[in-house]
Structure 1
Amino acid sequence: MINNIFFIIFPILLYQMFGALGKRNFFVSHRVTLTILFSISIILCMVFPYQIMTDQYIFDLRQVPMIVGALYGGPLVSAILFLVSAVGRIAIGGDGMYIAILNQFVVALGVPFLRPLYMRINRLEKVGLVFVVSILSLSFNAVAGYFLFGDPFHDVVGIWLMLMLNQGAIISLAALLIEHILRQEYLLSSLVKHEKLETVSNFAASVSHELRNPIQSIKGFVQLMKEHEYSRDKQLEFYDTMLSEIKAADQLIEDYLVFAKPVFAKLETVSVKTEVEHVVKVLKPFASWQKVEIQLLKNGGDAHILADRQKFHQALINIIRNGIEAMPAGGTFKIQIKQSASKVAIILMDEGIGMSKEEVQRLGEPYFSTKSKGTGLGMMVAYSIVRQMNGEIGVHSEKGKGTVFNVEFPLV
């Protein structure tokens, strides 16, 4: 009996190992392959029976792959499996051959009509249905054998009941296994689809978030020029800054079209002090609008690092902008540059609402933000850029006392 069970489970496990993912119908994509495998199961079950009732009458579990194949594969698969089982039974011979072939014919003819119902019901109902079909099939076998061929029945009724329960249990197990495989494949398919949708969502949110930074800067300069009269030289300086931000936005679009990890277009030796001053100038209109003063503290030395200038600006802008937004009542945002023997640290200090230790640990995760409408993608991009420039970000924060970012880079 163990051999018969193995012969039945074998093709189902092969399907799980090598079948395509996300297919809800057991036979749709691999109907030919699974028909061949179930045919092999039928032949092996007949060649290695596990119950001999008389010298000429044997019992095996060939009906299990026949019934399962008919329910999941439909009439064509059922017909092929019937031909295989009939030819195999004729080859074995014996007095029970005719009743066996008649029984197989009835199963192959009648079970496919139950397929529409079978595919609509739930898992437990399917198990109950295959169990009932199995019992009816063996009951037909016993009754037809008794009335049509005079086979003994009363003397072996106990054995028949045991065989019915055995086959019913095995076919129920096979149906449960198939349904479990289909459920896992469906869930995996849904997960893959969800991940694709989430990737698209992340992409769209990240693009909009990153483009907002240069657009806000441009908006700030336009508002200043609208509300105040500036000299021609000052206006030209504003125009140059706005053009620079437009170029930055264009570069961001090119980066996200590639949709890959940040790729540095050109690594060059840059002055940390000069680039930080440029970032401060870009963010001053936005900070002024938020009633925040940006103070660049006196720094010792002029450290140089190897960086992509635009990416470096992008990372600092994301961090500083978050710090400014963390001060809804206004305040002072301080920036200090400290140089050691091998590293340079850019210290960014705000007087905002601060964060808990748990929130600090989750910084850099997508979709984690302390802001009600934040996406967390700005910090994710900043962390990614700093890491790929061989830098590190340390964060110290307390609720109600503000946050300090310590961004370190190796010196050239």
Structure 2
Amino acid sequence: MLSILKDFLLNLFFILIPIFIVPIWIEEKNIPKHIKRHLLTVCFALVIILCMTIPVDADREFISDLRQIPLWLGSLYKGAATSMFLCLVTIGYRSLFGGTGFFVTVIISLFIMVIGIALEKKFLALSSKHRVLLATALCTFSGILSIVLAQTFHRIPLSSDISLAYLSVQPICMLITCSLKEMIYKNIALRKRIIRAEKMEAVSHLAASISHEIRNPLTAARGFMQLLEQHHLSPEKRKQYVRIAIEELDRAEAIITDYLTFAKPAPESIEKLNVKTEIERVIDLLRPLANMNSVEVKTTLAPFTIIGEREKFRQCLLNIMKNAIEAMPNGGVLQIYVSIEKQHVLIRITDTGIGMTKEQIERLGEPYFTTKGIKGTGLGMMVVYRIIESMNGTIHIKSEIHKGTEVSIYLPLSSNLHDLTNEEKKLFMAL
């Protein structure tokens, strides 16, 4: 009896593998819906084959196993097409073994297929608890029918150990399997709802924040525009008010630009980018700001190539370097270093500025969090994180108060080592 139960447990193990592993793997890999359906169908077919290949008991005529459970699961949960496919797999594979038990398999498989097609929509409309109970009841009935047919064709006595174990173990296994399946899918659905709710909350928060942030400069610009209507204003005052209004409008435009960059789901036109060339271009743009803040820029660059959108990558570098320069109001050194680590291009940007606390580092990338006070929009680093993520890269930040900040960006190298230019190969071997 213990040997029989051990074989039943092995069959149950085969059945539980797709129930546990496949849904989780599909969710993590974000598999398309049509592939997901076919994948689960193929898994149920393989389980049926495994159950018949390693049965609980087999003689020349009759094979005892738990193949009915995956057959019921596929028929009830996946619809008519899956039911017919699994029925054909069951009958086809069982025909290889021969014996009068083959006729029992044909009758039971067709019975399950017909019931599965008849209950295709009604079954999924039931509650989770009722689905489990109905599936268990149907599996119990098909098990009893199998034993009755086996006795009719093969003269197996109902009091045998195999028959008693089969009649008791199969419904229990079906109950366990169906309950676990419902629990897993319920947890997956709950997690999707939570993620969707979090996204909606983030969008609502972002929308409220951006409307607040844009309203402030627009209100200021409107106020100064109204002041220009006063006839007694001197030309100097008019120029001052116009300049302030333009600055406030530029601030609103910067907020909108950063928001749109963050909201853009993916790069528009990706291409191969030379890291050295792009960094030098950004440094040229920031050179006046660096000179104004008495910041010395030092570089150690290498012409490695990455894949990305040129404008977005430049904006990412611009935001980081601009933050570094503004963190050194009394002067300092900005160092940019490019290397390669484990097939990833490393861009390290280091400053000798005011630094940040651990709490500030943890909050970097949050909407509207800034260390610049009223001068910052709080969207720059959020944009940086979004761009690096879209390029399949990672960003690491280290900082100490009054000692400076180090930003390390890791981006996938666009070529294999064999495809690198001679200059890149020399640099790679030297690193």
- Asked if TM exceeds 0.5, the reply is yes
Aligned with 2:137 (options 132, 156, 160): 132
Q: Is the 8 A contact 1:23 1:185 kept in 2?
A: no
Aligned with 1:101 (options 98, 106, 118): 106
Alignment partner, residue 174 of structure 2: 171
**Is residue 45 of structure 2 the alignment partner of residue 45 of structure 1?**
no
Alignment partner, residue 32 of structure 1: 38
**Alpha-carbon displacement from aligned partner over 1:361-409 (angstroms, at most 9, x marks no partner):** 998795899xxxxxx9x77448879xx9x99999xxxxxxxxxxx9x99
Which stretches in structure 2 are left out of the alignment for 5+ residues? 1-6, 265-281, 298-314, 334-351, 384-394, 407-431
Aligned with 1:68 (options 66, 69, 73): 73
Q: 1:6/1:360 Cα in 2 relative to 1: closer, same or farther (>3 Å)?
A: closer
What does residue range 139-154 of structure 1 map to in structure 2 within 5 Å?
Answer: 139-146=144-151, 148-149=152-153, 151-154=155-158
Q: Is the 8 A contact 1:99 1:145 kept in 2?
A: yes
Task: Identify which range, 192-201 or 85-94, moves more after superposition.
Answer: 192-201
**Distance in 1 between the 2:213 and 2:126 partners?**
49
2:67 is aligned with what amino acid? R
Q: Is the 8 A contact 2:41 2:82 kept in 1?
A: yes
**Is residue 286 of structure 2 the alignment partner of residue 267 of structure 1?**
yes
Aligned with 1:233 (options 211, 236, 256): 236
**Is residue 215 of structure 2 the alignment partner of residue 212 of structure 1?**
yes
1:210 is aligned with what amino acid? E
**Distance in 1 between the 2:138 and 2:168 partners?**
12
**Distance in 2 between the 1:130 and 1:184 partners?**
20
What does residue range 82-101 of structure 1 map to in structure 2 within 5 Å?
Answer: 82-101=87-106
Q: 1:197/1:184 Cα in 2 relative to 1: closer, same or farther (>3 Å)?
A: same
**Distance in 2 between the 1:159 and 1:151 partners?**
13
- Superposition TM-score, scaled by structure 1 size: 0.60
Residue 11 (structure 1) shift: 3.5
Q: Is the 8 A contact 2:101 2:153 kept in 1?
A: no
**Alpha-carbon displacement from aligned partner over 1:28-49 (angstroms, at most 9, x marks no partner):** 5433333333222212211211
Provide the identity percentage: 26
Alignment partner, residue 123 of structure 1: 128
**Distance in 2 between the 1:88 and 1:391 partners?**
61
**Distance in 1 between the 2:198 and 2:382 partners?**
21
Q: Is the 8 A contact 1:214 1:249 kept in 2?
A: yes
**Distance in 1 between the 2:220 and 2:231 partners?**
17
**Distance in 1 between the 2:400 and 2:223 partners?**
29
Which stretches in structure 1 are left out of the alignment for 5+ residues? 275-302, 316-336, 346-358, 370-375, 395-405
Alignment partner, residue 4 of structure 1: 11
Q: 1:186/1:238 Cα in 2 relative to 1: closer, same or farther (>3 Å)?
A: same
**Alpha-carbon displacement from aligned partner over 1:59-107 (angstroms, at most 9, x marks no partner):** 1011111111111222222222222222222221234332332222222
**Distance in 2 between the 1:213 and 1:96 partners?**
81
Residue 221 (structure 1) shift: 2.6
What does residue range 183-332 of structure 1 map to in structure 2 within 5 Å?
Answer: 183-194=186-197, 196-198=199-201, 200-222=203-225, 224=227, 229-259=232-262, 266-268=285-287, 304=294
What does residue range 396-407 of structure 1 map to in structure 2 within 5 Å?
Answer: none
Alignment partner, residue 22 of structure 2: 15
Q: Is the 8 A contact 2:52 2:67 kept in 1?
A: yes
Q: How many residues align?
A: 325
Alignment partner, residue 301 of structure 2: none
**Distance in 2 between the 1:37 and 1:77 partners?**
11
**Distance in 2 between the 1:15 and 1:46 partners?**
21
Q: Which has the larger radius of gyration?
A: 1
**Distance in 1 between the 2:362 and 2:84 partners?**
60
**Distance in 2 between the 1:39 and 1:363 partners?**
49
Q: Is the 8 A contact 2:47 2:67 kept in 1?
A: yes
Q: 1:304/1:209 Cα in 2 relative to 1: closer, same or farther (>3 Å)?
A: farther
Q: Is the 8 A contact 1:74 1:115 kept in 2?
A: yes
SS at match of 1:91: coil
Residue 21 (structure 1) shift: 6.2
Q: 1:107/1:213 Cα in 2 relative to 1: closer, same or farther (>3 Å)?
A: same
Q: 1:393/1:268 Cα in 2 relative to 1: closer, same or farther (>3 Å)?
A: farther
1:40 is aligned with what amino acid? L
Task: Identify which range, 38-47 or 360-369, moves more after superposition.
Answer: 360-369
**Distance in 2 between the 1:340 and 1:233 partners?**
33
Task: Identify which range, 67-76 or 31-40, moves more after superposition.
Answer: 31-40
Q: CA RMSD in A?
A: 5.1
